[in-house]
Amino acid sequence: MISVNNLQKTYGVISALKGLHFEISKGEFVLIFGPNGAGKSTLLKILSTILAPTEGEVYIDDINIYKNSHEIRSRIGFVSHEPFLYENLSALENLVFFAGLYNVDNPLNKAKEILETLQLDARENELVRNYSRGMKQRVALARALIHEPDILYLDEPFSGLDLLGTSIITNILKNLKAQGKTILMSTHSFDDCADLAHRILLLINGEIAFMTSDVNKDHFKQKYLELVSINN
C-alpha cells in the first residue's frame, strides 16, 4: 500500500536519509526505532507530505504522493510530539476548526463523536492551555483522526507523557489497529509498544539497519544495542 523508493533527504551538507527502500501493507502496524538524529522525524514528515524529499518517491496505492499531495492528504493523519493546537481555544473548538480545514461533513457532530471516543468529552469546552500534556496529546490524536484517514503517522507520540497518558494512547492505538488502519510510528518506548507491532524498522544514520517481523523484545534489544554501538 505504501511504497518507498530510494528516499533521500539532505539538509545542506547533512545527509539525513540515504536512500530508503521499503513497503508497508494495508493494515500493518510498523514501529520505527533509532537513536536521536537517525532520521525518524525527517522520514515521517516526508511521508506526511510536510517536507519534500531531495530524491526518491513515495507511493500510496500507486499514487505518487508529491504529485498528488492534495488528494493524498485526506488519507493521512499525522501526530508529532508537539501537539500544534490553539491553546486559547477549547478542544471542541480546535477540532471543529480542523474539521473545517478538511471539509469534513457536519464538523460539530464529528468533533463531538471523536472527543467521546478518546474520552475527552467531559472537558471538551475547557481551553486547551489548561489541559495536561497527556490530554493535549490526545486532542492532537483526535485532530489527526478527524477526517478519518486510513493511514496514521506518529512521531514519538509518548514523549513527555506519564504512565497513564502512555497507557491511554497505547489503548487508542490498539483500537485503531483493530479497525485496520495502516500505522507507522516512531518511538523510544519499546516495552509499551512491542505488542502492537507487526514489524519493526531500525533506522541508524539515515539508513535502514534492519526491518523485521521478529518483535521479540529480547531479540530486538540485543540487536539494537549491537548495531547502535557499532555505528557510534
Q: Residue numbers of the site for ligand ADP (CB under 6 A)?
A: 11, 14, 16, 34, 36-42
Q: Exactly one of 29, 41, 107, 176 binds Mg ion (CB under 5 A); which one? A: 41
Q: Measured from the CB of residue 43, what is the shortest distance to ligand ADP in angstroms?
A: 7
Closest residue to Mg ion: CB criterion: 41
Q: Which element (helix H / strand E) includes 143?
A: helix 133-145
Stretch that binds Mg ion, among 36-44, 56-64, 209-217, 223-231 (CB under 5 A): 36-44
Contact by Cβ (8 Å): 40, 203: yes
Structure letter (DSSP) for residue 28: -
CA proximity to 85, closest of 74, 73, 98: 98
Question: How far from 204 is each of 40, 134, 179, 209, 225, CA to CA, in Å?
Answer: 9, 29, 31, 6, 11
> Minimum distance between the CB of residue 207 and ligand ADP, rounded to whole angstroms?
12
Q: Which of 7/114 has CB closer to Mg ion?
A: 7
Span from 32-40, 51-59, 108-116, 128-136 in contact with Mg ion (CB under 5 A): 32-40
Choose the contact partner of 164 out of ligand ADP, Mg ion, none; CB within 5 to 8 A by kind: none
41 vs 187, beta carbon nearer Mg ion: 41
Q: Which residue has the cell 480546535?
A: 94
Nearest to 198 by CA among 38, 27, 81: 27
Residue 48 binds to Mg ion (criterion: CB under 5 A) = no
The Cα 80–Cα 71 span in angstroms is 21
The entry of Mg ion, ligand ADP, none near residue 39 (CB within 5 to 8 angstroms by kind) is: ligand ADP
For 204-227, the three-class secondary structure string (H helix, E strand, C coil) is ECCEEEEEECCCCHHHHHHHHHHH
* 2-10, 41-49, 104-112, 141-149 -> range binding Mg ion (CB under 5 A): 41-49
Task: Identify which of residues 142 and 204 has a Cβ nearer to ligand ADP in the complex.
Answer: 204
Residues making contact with Mg ion (CB under 5 A):
40-41
